Every structure is written in structure tokens, then in C-alpha cells.
């Protein structure tokens, strides 16, 4: 069951319309302690469950050469390497140096992963290099999504498969909505808008059009709702604030980050209890074929 409006929430995303494209803030950089907090606190709650889902879908495709873009801290990378056969070639890329370095440190040199820092709009691979390409919750952060889609098409071989997921709207992801609205409540003007990025790219017609213009055929989309679980509201709040660049934006605006963490924890606890926490989260999983 999808929670659209928990009773503890009275307003809807600040009264604004979700953007189809949100230009990333140049200050949205995952560095310092952010990758570690992201991996420790957000990974198990948000990203592990969807990594399991997308890995199961990819395993059914029986790929031989796999490219992962926007690998982040390597959460999906770990699932892919553990689930795919040892003979399957796996290349993991990310543009952000902080996330990329954190991911690399989680794997040993003999685990048959090639690491390469890369921009999704200019992938450094020849045409037709891979028969599968995956991306977990990364395309929302790419400013030029059409160019990224064309690059994904270019590096796939004929009949190659592109699998990716994107979050549904913030109204259908209550924990993200609590974080966004609680953070905004600390500011009279110019609140940090980080959460508009991950939850701002979900319109099916828009995404289907981008894929079609890139050349993809046999386009399918699935709506997936999963439990969002964490050991405590306090831990979840650390991840939601200190596990992404919104913490930098908060500090730059002169607000104490720990006050915001406490407030987010309090709001989550009021809705779902202090410990453990269980809510729902919802995303779209897309599959498109190179033909």
C-alpha cells in the first residue's frame, strides 16, 4: 500500500509543481563524510532493496558485458558482482570523485571489476561495447538527459538492454517528503532544493520520449513499491541530511546541521515511530532495448 499523505504532513511539496528537469546546483557534490553517511544510513533503507530488484531483472537477461553508470558508493555494483557469473565483465563508472573512490575501496583487486571515472553524457567507450547497461537512481542528476540516453544507446550492442530506475514523485515517497519539507521549514527564503533532484524526474511520457529519440525500442516500465526500513528515525535522519549535499547547503545558509537532523528525526518518529522505522518507497524501473 502506497502512503500518499501521512496525517503528520499537511502541505504538498511546498505548493510547487514538480519540475520535469531540474538543473543541478553546482554545489551538489558528494565529498568528505557524505559518501560514508550515504552508504551507511541511506544504503540499507533505500538503495539495497532496489539494487536487489534491478539485479534480479538483469540476471534474467544473461549478459556477458555490463556497464554500470552512476555507481555511487557501489551498492548496486556489489549486488551485480555477487550475482552475475565470474565470467561476466563488469565496468563501474561515476562522475563524482568522492562517491567513486568510496565505492572502489569496498572491493578487492581480484573481484573482476573495471573502475573508470566517466560522465554519462560522454561515455569513454567504443560503440557497441556492452550488451547490458544499468543505472540505479542516477539519471535524475544528469543535466542533459537526452544526450545521456543517446550515449547509453551508442555503447550498447544490437539487442543490448538498458535497465534503470528513477524515483516516483515525492508525494509517493513519504520519508523523502518529510526530509524535504522539514529542511525547508528552517528557511524564510531560498531553502535548499536538493530533494527536487532525485524526486523530479518521473513522468512516463517524458522518459519514454527521451528513450525513443535516442533510438531505443521495446520500452517497458514497471512501478515498484517496496518497504523502506531503518533501525531508527535518528539513523535515517543522519542519512537524509548528512548523507547528501543538502548538509552543505544548510551549513552555507547559516543553519546548524545538527538542529536539522534532530528535526527530521522528530518528524519521522511522529509519523512512523522512533525505532524501528518502516514506511514505503516507490520507483519506476525501465527496460529498453537497442535495436
At 275 the pLDDT is 98
Residue 3 lies in a domain: no
* Domain coverage including residue 54: 13-290
At 27 the pLDDT is 40
Residue 169's contacts (CB-CB under 8 Å, 6 or more residues apart) are: 18, 199, 202
pTM exceeds 0.75 = yes
Q: How many residues does the chain have?
A: 291
At 97 the pLDDT is 86
At 60 the pLDDT is 92
Residue 177 lies in a domain: yes
Count of domains in the chain?
1
- Divide the 291 residues of the chain into consecutive groups of 10 and give the mean pLDDT of each group: 48 37 51 96 99 97 97 98 94 92 92 94 98 98 96 99 99 98 97 95 98 98 99 99 96 97 99 98 99 86
Rounded distance between C-alpha atoms, residue 237 and residue 132, angstroms: 35
Rounded distance between C-alpha atoms, residue 167 and residue 199, angstroms: 6
φ, ψ for residue 139 (rounded to 5)? -65, -25
At 21 the pLDDT is 37
Residue 62 lies in a domain: yes
Residue 58 lies in a domain: yes
Helix, strand, or coil (residue 270): helix
Residues paired with residue 278 on neighbouring β-strands, in sequence order: 229
Helix or strand run (H / E) with residue 56: helix 48-59
Residue 69 lies in a domain: yes
The answer to whether the beta carbons of residues 133 and 155 sit under 8 Å apart is: yes
φ, ψ for residue 153 (rounded to 5)? -65, -40
Helix, strand, or coil (residue 53): helix
At 12 the pLDDT is 35
CATH number for the domain that contains residue 112:
3.40.50.150
Rounded distance between C-alpha atoms, residue 257 and residue 274, angstroms: 20
Amino acid at each position: 500500500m502506497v502512503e500518499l499523505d501521512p496525517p503528520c504532513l499537511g502541505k504538498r511539496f511546498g505548493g510547487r509543481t514538480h519540475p520535469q528537469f531540474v538543473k543541478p546546483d553546482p554545489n551538489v557534490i558528494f565529498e568528505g563524510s557524505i559518501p560514508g553517511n550515504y552508504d551507511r544510513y541511506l544504503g540499507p533503507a533505500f538503495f539495497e532493496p532496489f539494487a536487489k530488484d534491478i539485479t534480479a531483472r538483469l540476471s534474467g537477461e544473461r549478459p556477458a558485458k555490463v556497464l554500470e553508470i552512476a555507481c555511487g558508493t557501489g551498492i548496486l555494483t556489489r549486488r551485480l558482482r555477487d550475482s552475475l557469473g565470474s565470467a561476466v565483465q563488469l565496468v563501474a563508472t561515476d562522475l563524482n570523485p568522492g562517491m567513486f573512490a568510496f565505492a572502489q575501496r569496498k572491493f578487492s583487486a581480484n573481484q573482476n571489476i573495471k573502475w573508470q571515472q566517466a560522465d554519462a553524457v560522454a561515455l569513454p567507450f567504443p560503440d557497441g561495447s556492452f550488451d547490458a547497461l544499468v543505472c540505479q537512481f542516477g539519471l535524475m542528476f544528469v543535466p542533459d538527459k537526452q544526450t545521456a540516453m543517446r550515449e547509453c544507446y551508442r555503447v550498447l550492442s544490437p539487442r543490448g538492454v538498458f535497465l534503470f530506475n528513477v524515483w516516483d514523485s515525492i508525494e509517493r515517497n513519504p520519508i523523502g517528503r518529510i526530509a524535504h519539507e522539514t529542511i525547508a521549514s528552517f528557511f524564510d527564503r531560498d531553502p535548499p532544493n536538493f530533494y527536487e533532484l532525485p524526486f523530479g524526474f518521473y513522468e512516463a511520457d517524458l522518459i519514454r520520449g527521451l528513450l525513443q529519440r535516442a533510438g531505443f525500442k521495446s520500452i517497458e516500465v514497471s512501478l515498484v513499491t517496496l518497504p523502506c526500513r531503518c533501525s531508527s528515525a535518528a539513523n535515517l535522519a543522519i542519512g537524509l541530511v548528512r548523507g547528501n549535499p543538502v548538509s552543505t547547503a544548510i551549513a552555507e545558509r547559516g543553519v546548524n546541521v545538527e538542529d536539522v537532523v534532530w528535526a527530521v528525526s522528530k518528524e519521522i518518529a511522529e509519523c512512523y515511530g522512533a525505532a524501528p522505522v518502516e514506511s514505503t518507497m516507490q520507483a519506476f524501473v525501465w527496460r529498453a532495448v537497442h535495436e
